[in-house]
Amino acid sequence: MQLRPITGSAIRILRHLHQHEEPHQSGVYIAKAIDISYVLFMRTAEKLRKEGLLVTRRGRNGGFSLGKPAAEISLYDVYLCMEKELHLGDFLKNETGHPIGDYMGSLQDGIVQNMLATTIADLA
């Protein structure tokens, strides 16, 4: 399992917004603060916005803010938003009841539970 750069960027964006509670920060400011390109920021922000994890506001006093409290956003929420599903391997589907399939299924369940128990607030 390897996270794509966009997923790491999503976690960093949300953590930054939690740590710097100024309302409605600009995308340029956030991208610069977490050292990612503005293009990557906007691509990531759009996905987060569609899932309700980020709120955008247009206009002079516009910008970005968290869609809900950081303590209510789990790493698994972010992961699903960016990656769609957690898969340790396709062989899991055919190996249920077999020691390797059972082990890998248990490992995957453990990862999901750990991600559900960890919030953006925990990472700040």
pLDDT at 56 over 80: yes
Q: Collapse the DSSP code of 96 into the 3-class scheme (helix H, G, I; strand E, B; otherwise coil) and give the result.
A: coil
pLDDT at 38 over 90: yes
pLDDT value of residue 105: 79
pLDDT value of residue 108: 85
Residue 105: partners with Cβ closer than 8 Å, 6 or more residues away = 92, 96
Amino acid of residue 88: L
* Range 32-35 contact pairs with CB under 8 angstroms and sequence separation of 24 or more: 34/9
DSSP notation for 12-78: HHHHHHHHS--SSB-HHHHHHHHT--HHHHHHHHHHHHHTTSEEEE-STT-EEEESS-GGG-BHHHH
pLDDT value of residue 107: 86
What pLDDT digit, counting tens, does each position of 57-113 carry? 888 878 999 999 999 999 999 999 999 887 776 555 555 667 777 787 788 899 999
Q: How far apart are CA 118 and CA 94, in angstroms?
A: 30
| Domain CATH code at residue 66 | 1.10.10.10
pLDDT value of residue 9: 96
Distance of CA 17 to the CA centre of its chain: 13
Number of domains the chain is built from: 1
Range of the structural domain that residue 43 is part of = 5-123
pLDDT value of residue 97: 65
pLDDT value of residue 89: 64
pLDDT value of residue 24: 80
